[in-house]
Amino acid sequence: SEELLLNILPEEVAEELKDKGEAEAKLIDEVTVLFTDFKGFTAMSETLRPKELVRDLHECFSAFDHICQEHGLEKIKTIGDAYMAAGGLPTPNTTHAMDVIQAALEMRDFIVEGKARKLAAGLPYFEVRIGVHTGPVVAGIVGVKKFQYDIWGDTVNTASRMESSGDVGQVNISEATYALVKDQAGLAFTPRGKVQAKGKGELEMYFVSPIG
């Protein structure tokens, strides 16, 4: 059904699929990609019952979905306890870097507030690392029975490295993303210098936080 399609695919892509029976893969020159990952998830999965673990994950990812929607981002997928989204696609825009950073900061705050609640109740809690990078991607649909909208390219790999090279409770952004948002009001940046990133050598990174 159309509603189901729109739950799986961006609206423009769903329309193209409906009209033509296929949706062409596209190179999009500038997209900002976000990755989140929970620290200590494996340890938590050993202490929580499966039902509780999935409930907690569902709560977090549902909140992330809502935040993405509020900022015009496209959720790409979840992989285990990792969440991936992007701004500036399928229709390119000029606000994607700022949109993604604002969403990332809200995601971080949601997890921090959840941690405080869980600590007060003596329950296990999530902590999150978030990484952001900007660059070109190829976007398209893969799969036949269970198809999904996905993105590929070095930009995706680098965004993932921004996450894994970050710190818990921080939004870690690349030089490319920083260049697009450095003059935006309301943001503060902590330069980290060159940081070793797996398979990438040393990359300039910055922590970003809201002012006030």
Sequence-ordered list of residues with C-beta below 8 angstroms from that of 16, at least 6 positions apart, any chain: 22, 23, 24
The 8-class DSSP code of residue 200 comes to T
Q: What is the DSSP string of 112-141?
A: HHHHHHHHHTT----EEEEEEEEEEEEEEE
Among candidate residues 116, 140, 136, 137, the one with its CA nearest the CA of residue 127: 116
Provide the token pair at 122. 């003596």
Catalytic residues: 161, 198
Q: How far is it, in rounded angstroms, from Cα 136 to Cα 115?
A: 35
